[in-house]
Chain A
């Protein structure tokens, strides 16, 4: 050991150096990162931001404002090797009293940094972390004897005696190569603390797990940590596999309500999550479904400028649709697209009753049926969809499917129009949602499942073409595995800016003609399934909405079916799901399918060799690979 022989407090005039590691799939800098760095600024003499990957000019300019130095390096070795490179970049640290190594896996400060620094400054320690993880036997990651007690690597502060020591230099010099996420956890994060305490350094924790009811409070007890003043909220509870969080009753929606009450700028969280989490996963993790009441206390007129765009095809449904459209408050312009004069006449007649609700009515004839309601919106009403004077766009159509049974078609229509436009009071609550959250991009009813087989196969044949479209539009929002979060049915309420990636492109009717390569995935259905990602890429999130009646129908229905479907597999839902996913595709339960299920469960390598359905079960196999991570819910690298 070099330097003094005792652990020391942080001196009154001490200098703190911060290494903050950023990874952004787009090479940009997220608002929540800037917010974190701004919060740290007053507490640090020097802030070095390490970017894993690339950094665009706007990101660099933004970081320049809130940091002292920027190091851009290849995205290798996770945060740990970024820290190693940063240490080399900083060189001589003898001018500092504390070195904080942090990363961007948390939102903060949710509570102020000041009190935590003050409290920890006064402690004579060599290294401290914000949170820690209790020892676990056996190690849930690799089955070895134990997972050692450790400080979590998203925030580790080392004092001078430690970071100027020979042990420190040795540790970083000998740092093993980390190609896999598991390496970063097993070879560094969980070993670091024990390594240094073994060399006689003293470790401490600002919010020790011993004071919390779980071994991993940063993941399982975020509300308690925040209540105790912890400035950081891990991002993981908002992108992790929902059935895992479910297993532990980690309820993101409630945590976020607390975070909002502490005054954190929620827009930064929503923007980050919308851009980086698969939309359906996010919808589940943060429970982004609103069941809205029918009565609204406010009756004063609303100033919001809203465009209602409705495609009219079925004359018998026009009157109800326009009546519901008249529930929309504010300065409402109504744009009707019709196939010809007959429908226009029907619409005009209906408007004699409902027309007073609209500031302006315009009827446009759409000669070409290719693309149906979507082309009517994206081609015939492109000017409206891209008109920034509108704060919101309500997209409707007279929905009827002749290929479905009467009941199914009828319920599908009701599910759309009743959940979007239940009553004047209800719609006012929807508008309020947009007023409250500037980042709210699109609302629509949850995935219809009554009468239509969606859950379990929501992508149907649409995935490949949707992924291609999203790539063309420049979306890097991750894709949901089983089913997309999408306004299936084609009706929604959106901010024009949230749809911009889709609406700015100059679509033509010809784009909607059948394509042999995607015979089962017509473009209008692809566009529906792309909307949540399109909004997400631009930083807007989606919420689903239900009125109380459909919420009752849907909740009781899903509950019954889930109960039935779960009745032959043991364990918690996460265990049931993982078992089924490992077993793979059932087919119709024939001998070959069952034999392959047996192989996949018991001899997975062999199964990969012989499985003719491997491609079909691809998504499932991919998911099964993340199993260990899901089961343990571990990570902070």
Chain B
């Protein structure tokens, strides 16, 4: 047997395996398929899991055939099913490309790489590969052989028509875990066939790059060299791990866009499928906006409504000062509790005319739900009217119960970072002009004066999960703290909030004190906007003034330095260690028994039963240990 270049009239089969949690056809998938189309004589899509009707239609428009199968066996299961489906007809093709949906592309085009690899005399080629490593980082021993990465492997006729090929697939077990699929297929496939005398090559071999895993660590260099595939992983992986390797997702996004890839496809896909705080971190989706107007296009104004819930009428003027920094005309809707307040607000607004401003002051039929119900119920008609591109949501926030300085800081943190000077606010609106997929913008998580770090969910996560199911939100929930407008002030596209606004909320839903306790509806809804926006494909950005960034950054930097002072390694090591140890409690004996159990699971379980019959801490420990296991798994990749 001898490997050969592709013949001039070669026929190519492309098998594209996909999985979508919603059974939909993600626009980035359709984009990739459309670009593969001219290179594929037959283009076959295999979906792990059923597709919704629209997806099926959309995929059939770009592919020759769409197979839906049970979601088992991961991508390799799908590829095997597709090969079985094509059966003997594989003999009609000179090259079969087995790929999946774990990359964005093409960055640039597929032309160059197909042309270049067609000339290579090989039996199989991959887009990228992973070098030989000893010891195997997955198992800590043995050898990890050099292997082509399974997201893109092309096999030539000499291989795919060989008995060895059929034998390989016949012998392949069904994989129950992702790790098994990697360990028993991806890292073995190349070596297996190489051992049988087949020639392999990578289009962008790792030997040309300065790391063990260029697809993850050197995506910037790969793109610069013309690699058409950009792995999704650098955007969704555990952020401290990416920080350890200085993988800067923000730059990768910019580099892909600079090469003509529609970046909204990346943002939209990530918004729907990645924990929002992870996305916010990996892509550094935070903007420090200057006060000088640098990024607003006055020729493309956005139709804007400001919805203000005013309880403390003495704050009306100050709030209007902020809203008046909006560029161009806007409409004003004010909700308040009674006629006396309404008259006062009316008087204040009348004293400060503004061109093109429609004013609508509404008295709420109920106090239940405060700014949340005022927005979602009383202003539902405004938000669903289709008359506005943007909504500004503010309320007369004072938080007197937290202490003067803390409450003052929280209010300022909200107001000043959303609406500052006319230049600042115009720059913020400019973000929406530039990114049609930008759904919502708000200040980062409050942390000065509040113990939010490490527990942004408080006790709201279970209830939040239930509401997500009710509302049909399948964006994954962040582990420790959600990305949320703590303080409930933001600027958003009404379209991004539609899922939330369309729900038939009633004032009674917000009734009673319990709605305002942790776990209650008010706190759940406060955390909801980014997740409902994400479900519709809209992403979130956090924003701040340079002043706030300075105060917040210096504070967090100092605290992190202090927090990290008693643990070894880098920040990812430290995080793993403390999470594996679990909740420290008061540092009493039983807390240390639990910590010991977290760090030494076997001995710990025994000790635990002996010393602490109370099962609750064990459950907590178990939960945290599972969190640590996730971190460990993440660090291995």
Contact = CB atoms under 8 A, between A and B. Distances in A.
A186 interface: no
Contacts of A456: 560-561, 563-565, 567, 571, 574
A584 B218 CA distance: 38
B553 A248 contact: no
Interface string B36-80: 000000000000000000000000000000000000000000000
B579 A411 contact: no
Nearest to B453: A566
Nearest to B624: A568
Nearest to B562: A577
A220 B456 contact: no
A295 B292 contact: yes
Contact of A563 (B405, B453, B584, B587): B453
A292 interface: yes
A598 B589 CA distance: 7
A555 B444 contact: yes
Interface in A246-294: 246-251, 253-254, 280-281, 283-284, 287-294
Given A284-B554, A411-B248, A572 B451 contact: yes
Interface residues of B, number: 93
A412 B243 CA distance: 12
B580 interface: yes
A577 B559 contact: yes
B286 A556 contact: yes
A334 interface: no
Contact of A552 (B277, B287, B559): B287
B557 A446 contact: yes
A284 B557 contact: yes
Contacts of B571: 449, 453, 455-456, 561, 565
Interface stretch (A227-235, A402-410, A495-503, A522-530): A402-410
A482 B561 contact: yes
Interface in A402-454: 405-408, 410-412, 446-447, 449-451, 453
Interface stretch (A77-85, A348-356, A513-521, A589-597): A589-597
A548 B287 contact: yes
A242 interface: yes
Contact of B551 (A251, A412, A481, A619): A251
A243 interface: yes
Contacts of A601: 587
B566 A583 contact: yes
Given A405-B211, A583-B587, A288 B554 contact: yes
Nearest to B407: A249
Contacts, number: 312
Contact of B578 (A214, A294, A482, A565): A565
Nearest to A286: B554
A558 interface: yes
Contacts of B563: 456, 562, 565-566, 573, 576-577, 580
Interface stretch (B82-90, B464-472, B591-599): B591-599
Contact of A558 (B451, B560, B570, B574): B560
Interface in B532-587: 542, 544, 546-547, 549-571, 574-575, 577-585, 587
A216 to B, nearest CB: 11
Interface centre among B278, B563, B588, by most chain A C-beta atoms within 10 angstroms, is: B563
A389 to B, nearest CB: 33
B163 interface: no
B245 interface: yes
19 contacts: A242-B555, A246-B555, A248-B449, A253-B550, A293-B290, A455-B560, A549-B284, A555-B544, A557-B239, A561-B560, A561-B571, A564-B480, A565-B575, A568-B581, A580-B565, A586-B566, A587-B568, A591-B596, A602-B588
Given A558-B553, A568-B581, A579 B453 contact: no
A566 B454 CA distance: 4
A558 B556 contact: yes
Contacts of B480: 563-564, 567
A483 B239 contact: no
A164 interface: no
B550 A482 contact: no
A91 interface: no
A297 B550 CA distance: 22
Given A289-B554, A559-B444, A246 B559 contact: yes
A181 interface: no
Contacts of B560: 449, 455-456, 558, 561-562, 565
B206 interface: no
Contacts of A289: 549-550, 553-554
Interface in B263-320: 277-278, 280-281, 284-292, 294
Contacts of A508: none
A113 to B, nearest CB: 26
A620 interface: yes
Given A214-B403, A457-B565, A586-B568, A551 B581 contact: no
Nearest to B291: A293
A407 B281 contact: no
Contacts of B574: 456, 565
A598 B288 contact: no
Given A581-B566, A597-B592, A568 B448 contact: no
A410 B554 CA distance: 24
Contacts of A284: 554-555, 557-558
